[in-house]
Amino acid sequence: MNSSRRGFLERSAGLAAILALPYSARAAAQQSASRTLRIGIQSMRTLNPAVQSGYATGMPGAQLFASLVLLNDKFEPVPYLARSWKVSEDGLNYRFDLVSDATFHDGKPVKASDVVFSIEAVKSTHPLTSITYKAILDSVRALDDHTVEIRLKKPFAGLFGVLTPPLTPILPEHVYGAAAGPLRNNPANDKPIGSGPYKFVEWKRGAELVLERHEGSFRPAPYFDRLVFSLAEDSLTKTLMLEQGKIDFLPYSYLRVSDLRRLKESKTLATTTQGYEAIGPVNYLELNLREAPFNDLRVRQAFAHAIDKKFITSTLHQGLSKRLDGPLHSSNAYFDGSVLTHYAYDLKKANALLDEAGLPRKEGGIRMQATLDVPTFEPDSTNLVADYIKAQFRRIGIDVVLRKSTDFADWASRIGQWNYQMTMNSTFNWSDPVVGVDRSFLSSNIAKQVWTNTEGYADPEVDDLLTRAAGEADPAKRKQLYSDFQKKVSADLPLIWTNEGIYITLYNQRLRSIPSGVFGALAPFDEMSFA
């Protein structure tokens, strides 16, 4: 018996039992019989991953929109809307055969033309993937209703990772096409129509988002009738909701270390750090390299020597984070720890470097004052570390003034306009360096927008290494190019890396089959169930 029919029979049997009850008892039983998964999440600005990156849009977006492929736990592509594919020997031509029975939530069929439209739309509007597509995409066309051809300008080993729900959702052209106006302003961004396993019901901004099972899904029907995303901004609220049983599933928990430690011991909750391999969160101190003295390597080296990364990971984070000395997360396929420059904790050396850079101590032992902007996200990798850096830099004569943002928009506006001296920051490596790493270091990506090369780093050698690596088809040669890149930037210190992000998923122990691929919760929840 297939899973769809089994699910139908289970629901039918449950309904028959409910109907045999008196009305009052029937109402209560109907409510308890509803299969609802309650998910904790931070507020999102839109529900369309084609116009917004990040997990807050990407998680519900992966339920609403299908994509050509998914990635398993080994970074390998598995079929989704594409049932099969062929890649030419030169790595420039990809041909995808689509499933024939996929429909959007409004009943219209998913066609190859929708895939073409979606890739072109992402190329034009996505804040992250647009850069990748503009660099590698030669053309995309529909050969017939169920066949798509993608031609690349140069080989790109990370293409399958880009063709996933958070980076290239497949949109219905009849809803989001040119006739509806600019994609960023389309009303359907707030009431999406996709072909994913769940469809839109209601979005109460600042409160909750409700999705329900798409009965016409081309994949086996999900176990859950409804997904309810509870929008919770702060660590305390999410902690209380977990403890009170109001949340069943909390990826990207961003909880305080003390709360994480306590909740990990709960008898009703389970935890995992898996599902973030394609995210690769890295945390760092960013300096505005346009300003003196931050453009002086000796000053950046002094700052690096003044930060005790072991204290951050072992004491502040209680062993929940890892030391970070370069741009790539340790889960990244191209990570090479052997080439990184490690700046040992050494206050004597830090002070000597600042003296050498022409920053002598003045009245009260202060060399200079500097403002450090602190965002609201990832509190223990931004706020907590910022407090530590303030105290440490005082020991080398730097008077740090903390400027804590009121919300994300406040911080993003300031950093995006380069109106800062220093800031705590965090970015994702994503599934391939071309997608998530290049943006922070290519001189061509110096832009007035957060999570680009806002620090203003420009180095011809780095530009060359990243450009060559992006189009290198030979795996060994590509890995060597990224090793050379890591060696170069870890010595240059355009950013002062501190730690890998603390990314832990907490969930009800009754939950089964939580997404196990490298994108974790940025994949469909259609295999999840309660035991």
Separation of alpha carbons 83 and 302, rounded Å: 54
Task: Measure the N-to-C terminal CA separation of the chain; round to a whole number of Å.
Answer: 19
333 and 430 in a common domain: yes
111 and 4 in a common domain: no
Residue 166 lies in a domain: yes
Separation of alpha carbons 39 and 227, rounded Å: 7
pLDDT in tens, the chain (531 residues): 444 444 444 444 444 444 444 433 443 344 444 699 999 999 999 999 999 999 999 999 999 999 999 999 999 999 999 999 999 999 999 999 999 999 999 999 999 999 999 999 999 999 889 989 999 999 999 999 999 999 999 999 999 999 999 999 999 999 999 888 899 999 999 999 999 999 999 999 989 999 999 999 999 999 999 999 999 888 889 999 999 999 999 999 999 999 999 998 999 999 999 999 999 999 999 999 999 999 999 999 999 999 999 999 999 999 999 999 999 999 999 999 999 999 999 999 999 999 999 999 998 999 999 999 999 888 888 999 999 999 999 999 999 999 999 888 899 999 999 999 999 999 999 999 999 999 999 999 999 999 999 999 999 999 999 999 999 999 999 999 999 999 999 999 999 999 999 999 999 999 999 999 999 999 999 999 999
Contact 134, 403 (CB under 8 A): no
Separation of alpha carbons 468 and 489, rounded Å: 16
422 and 379 in a common domain: yes
Residue 318 lies in a domain: yes
7 and 103 in a common domain: no
15 and 136 in a common domain: no
Give the CATH number for residue 436.
3.10.105.10
Residue 243 lies in a domain: no
Domain of 126? 65-182
Name the residue type at position 69: V
Residue 214 lies in a domain: no
463 and 353 in a common domain: yes
477 and 401 in a common domain: yes
Domain end call among 152, 182, 212: 182
Contact 125, 50 (CB under 8 A): yes
132 and 16 in a common domain: no
| DSSP reduced 3-state for 97 | strand
Domain end call among 182, 214, 236: 182
481 and 388 in a common domain: yes
The greatest distance separating any two alpha carbons of the chain, rounded to the nearest whole angstrom, comes to 85
| DSSP reduced 3-state for 449 | coil
288 and 176 in a common domain: no
Residue 69 lies in a domain: yes
Residue 518 lies in a domain: no
Domain end call among 182, 199, 224: 182
Q: Per the structure, how many domains does the chain have?
A: 3
Contact 370, 422 (CB under 8 A): yes
Residue 55 lies in a domain: no
Separation of alpha carbons 399 and 496, rounded Å: 18
Give the CATH number for residue 69.
3.90.76.10
Residue 413 lies in a domain: yes
298 and 359 in a common domain: yes
11 and 98 in a common domain: no
In DSSP notation, 192-217 reads ---SSSEEEEEEETTTEEEEEE-TT-
